[in-house]
Amino acid sequence: MISLPFTIIISVFLLFILGYWGVSLWLWSIYLSLVLFAFASPIWLWGVWAIVAVILNVPLLRRALISTPILRGVRSLQLLPQISETERAAIDAGTVWIEGEFFSGQPNFQRIQHQPYPEASPTLQAFLDGPVENVCRMATDWEIHRRKDLPPEVWRYLKQEGFLGMLIPQKYGGLGFSNLDYSTIMVKLASRSFIYTATVGVTNSLGPAKLLLNYGTAAQKEYYLPRLARGEEIPCFALTEPTAGSDAASITSQGTVFRGEDGKCYVRLNFRKRYITLGAIATLIGLAFKLHDPDNLLGKGPDIGITCALVPANTSGVILGKRHDPMGVPFYNSPIEGQDVVISVDQIIGGVEQAGQGWKMLMQSLAAGRGISFPASCTGIAKFVTRVTSAHATVRQQFGLSIGRFEGIEEPLARIAGITYLLEAARVYTCAAVDQGEKPSVASAIAKYQFTELARKLVNDGMDILGGAGICRGPRNLLANVYSAMPIPITVEGSNILTRTLMIFGQGVIRCHPYLYAEVKAVQENDPVAFDRLLWQHLGFVCRNIFRTLLLSLSRGTIARSPIPGPTARYYRKLTWISAQFALLTDLALLCFGGSLKRHEKITARFADIASWLYLSVATLRRFEAEGQQPEDLPLVDWSLQYSLMQIQQAIEGIWSNLPILAMVRAIVLMSCRLNPVGQPPLDRLGSQIAQQIQKPGLERDRLTAGIYLPTHPDEALGRLEQAFVLCTQAESATKTLKTAIRKGQFTAHSSESPFSDPALNAAAEAEIISAIDAQFIRVAETARQAAIQVDTFTLAEYQLL
């Protein structure tokens, strides 16, 4: 006979095994029956259990006695989120890509690791080395800012070489590049000037061309796409209004259908738009408005809904010509107005059939677009900041040392390098998905939010490292204009506050949760059959995640399987642990807040942070694997993953601290979180290793900053800095020998002289402290250093003309 303690141990062991693997309801029923048998339960308990087991496992009985009453209660109490038509369009836009894995509690890393991670094609590389290199060479960022516009020759070149139609297929006269190709080009353009990306970005990723490609009629495509590809038309897209920003569905621009004297149908438009990039110089306006048809001439009822149409800018009633001044960054951003503007219904994008489908068009286009343009621009900026700060930290000296030797500088340098590696990983990963046909709305929202926020942090770090050289404007200043521009990507295409608090998790949980959206539909449609099936699957899902979270927490993730052996395996295990906890927390928050969860934006923002850093983590791991697990990249991978896990830990603690659960339960959970954290800050020695690694010329620094524009001429600020960086590094050994000799008293420079002055270097060479060749090395390096650290000055008259 088996002893009682052993029976208890076996029962508990099986409980956790079954719970961890999430077995079906009937297997749970068999388990409980075996437990009753093992403990010799009385007959009456067997009878009760038999009735319960039959009810739970016979769908007809379960539905009638349990699920249908619950359905009635959920409907009456509105425990699930209510979804409006505009919200439904936003949620339905795009596809659920790997984001769904995070909500599953058991991510499929085989799927994640088999997502494409492509490289630049020969065609793309030729375009980067040719037209992109040429256009970057044609104007410096300072020159563009002084002119408050791109020079005329640059505009001509952009049109001539097809920059305005990079995503338009070749059959329409475009370059036919993929999204990854376009993104890679934008990286290089962004490293030269934000104005390039602001100009090129709208014409390619958000505007008439993209909408025409996806929804336009054959006639519209044949006419407009070649003109857009050749730059004969300058497009803009007009959505935002004075009273409709984040709540874009509340636009007040109106279009009214009427029949003209010729018997054809027309639309009379009245609109007032603002913040429209390229608006002041646009020749073709993509316009979003609410379409009304009081006489039902189109056969779609009186209120058709949000519609998108093409409006030639020279149409009577269109008012252009004014500009906004966004932070002094001189790209065209403008208001647009229209008074009694009349267009044919044929100008509706997609024709009459697509009237009223404008919101769906916009949401589907943005679902993919947010993950392309701004992430590319921000990656280019990050690589540029890495290049500038690593060189400056080496060239600039204080207290007789390069400032990059100080730990206070090492910390932001490591952050800049680690996040740059992470951003490049996520950029390629996201673009590859879109090129595979995905429209990953949640991943794109994550990309838009995190790339712009992280780029802003890197630029701030860069400004701190440059110090006075960063705040004095002029042709020598490499970061001031970028610093001024950073609030712009934070604000547009969905403000970052909105994106974080509403879009990533608020809409993402409904779209990506394995059961929630289907449950909401079942409740709204009052479908007891579907609700019963989903409810019990959902309960099993919660049960599984409770056991998984507990066991993974106790083991710190070590019991999870990693798809990859080696140094990154521990990160896969931790991400599995986090995913289980994330899925459990999601369902706990839904239970606590019900349908009002989306209004608790501080909570949803923390959930968004977890989802964001999970995504950035898997993208980083995917890059490391795809690039052959380069050993020199491992410190960057370690730093990026540790930084990501730290952000996740902070978000988890914030959620537990604010869930409306019993204070004692919250205190216990928080204590366990802090004693058993999923992540901690990267170690100081790891940051020091990365900071010193990027302060050396060579392959590692070049690979981290690959794909940006690098001027070589010393007349340009970055060319001058790079030259000084290389020369100072080459002279480092000789300089160290000289300083050591001075410190030991082997050689004394005249008190009025620098140890690097010509007399001092000549004397050191004569004393054989250093060789004559080394003395020349130091002399050339010091000349380059002095040239590189100078800042711009202006006469009063010159300054007034800036």
Burial level of 44, CB count in 10 A (0-12/13-18/19+)? exposed
Q: How far apart are CA 503 and CA 526, in angstroms?
A: 27
Total Cβ atoms within 10 A of residue 480: 21
3-class secondary structure, 696: coil
Which of these, 608, 610, 603, 611, lies nearest to 648 by C-alpha position? 610
Angle at 364 between CA 358 and CA 366, to 5 degrees: 100
Alpha helices in 293-344 (DSSP H): none
Q: How far apart are CA 452 and CA 486, in angstroms?
A: 8
3-class secondary structure, 275: strand
Q: Which of 410, 453, 493, 716 is catalytic?
A: 493
Which residues have CB under 8 Å from 310's CB, separation 6+? 208, 220, 224, 284, 285, 286, 287, 343, 347, 349
DSSP 241: B
* Per-residue tokens: 626: 């795809």
Whole-number Cα distances in Å, 339 to 10, 255, 277, 294:
79, 11, 20, 19
Give the CA count within 13 Å in the CB-facing half-sphere of 139.
Answer: 25
Q: How far apart are CA 140 and CA 711, in angstroms?
A: 10
* Per-residue tokens: 609: 């942070």
Q: Mapped to the 3 state alphabet, what secondary structure does 721-745 carry? A: HHHHHHHHHHCHHHHHHHHHHHHCC
Total Cβ atoms within 10 A of residue 348: 28
3-class secondary structure, 207: coil
Burial level of 604, CB count in 10 A (0-12/13-18/19+)? buried
* Per-residue tokens: 390: 């690593």
Amino acid letter, 690: I
Q: How far apart are CA 242 and CA 437, in angstroms?
A: 35
Q: How far apart are CA 650 and CA 608, in angstroms?
A: 12
DSSP 681: P
Whole-number Cα distances in Å, 342 to 260, 378, 510:
10, 40, 40
Which of these, 719, 737, 718, lies nearest to 778 by C-alpha position? 737
Buried b (16+ CB within 10 A) or exposed e, 188-212: bbbbbbbbbbbbbbbbbbbbbbbbb
For tokens 């798809």, the residue is: 563
> Is the Cβ–Cβ distance between 302 and 293 less than 8 Å?
yes
* Per-residue tokens: 377: 């621009």
> Is the Cβ–Cβ distance between 582 and 610 less than 8 Å?
yes
> Is the Cβ–Cβ distance between 762 and 769 less than 8 Å?
no
Q: Is 768 in the active site?
A: no
H or E element that contains 96:
none
DSSP 22-44: T--HHHHHHHHHHHHHHTT--HH
Q: How far apart are CA 362 and CA 211, in angstroms?
A: 8
N-to-C CA span, the chain:
94
DSSP 563: S
Q: How far apart are CA 322 and CA 497, in angstroms?
A: 28
* Per-residue tokens: 153: 């020759």
The residues that are catalytic are 493
